[in-house]
Amino acid sequence: MGRLTTHVLDTTRGTPARGVRIELQRAVGAGFETIAEARTNEDGRCDRPLLEGDALVPGTYQLLFHIGDYFRAGAGTEASPFLDIVPIRFAIAAGQAHYHVPLVATPWSYSTYRGS
């Protein structure tokens, strides 16, 4: 069964990022609509997949990571981080595959990759 998962790592502290708000959006026409929301747990992951099974259909999606709120809430960094909402736009080609889209972040930078 296909699924979409994510996790967030705080490389400033060297820990998983707990409590990060994440929005999942799907492309619809010329825009995007929010189809799921979640917060990361103590391991920096969501408690369940953002999409799975028949809901995971081919198309263009984006994850919006509200990382600025996380750093402002006391991650031990400056009060006004450089990054606020980090968008990651990606395509799902096959509904039966596992798509894992992690975010590795600091208040000033981020990276991502297709994980496993």
Say how far apart CA 61 and CA 54 lie, in whole Å: 16
Residue in the block written with tokens 């799975």: 52
Residue in the block written with tokens 């590795």: 104
CA nearest to 90, candidates 68, 65, 113: 113
**What are the pLDDT tens digits along the chain (116 aa)?**
899 999 999 999 999 999 999 999 999 999 999 999 999 999 999 999 999 999 999 999 999 999 999 998 875 555 677 899 999 999 999 878 999 999 999 999 999 999 88
CATH number of 3-112: 2.60.40.180
- Tell me which DSSP letter residue 55 carries: G
pLDDT number for residue 79: 63
Name the residue ranges covered by the structural domains of the chain. 3-112
pLDDT number for residue 101: 98
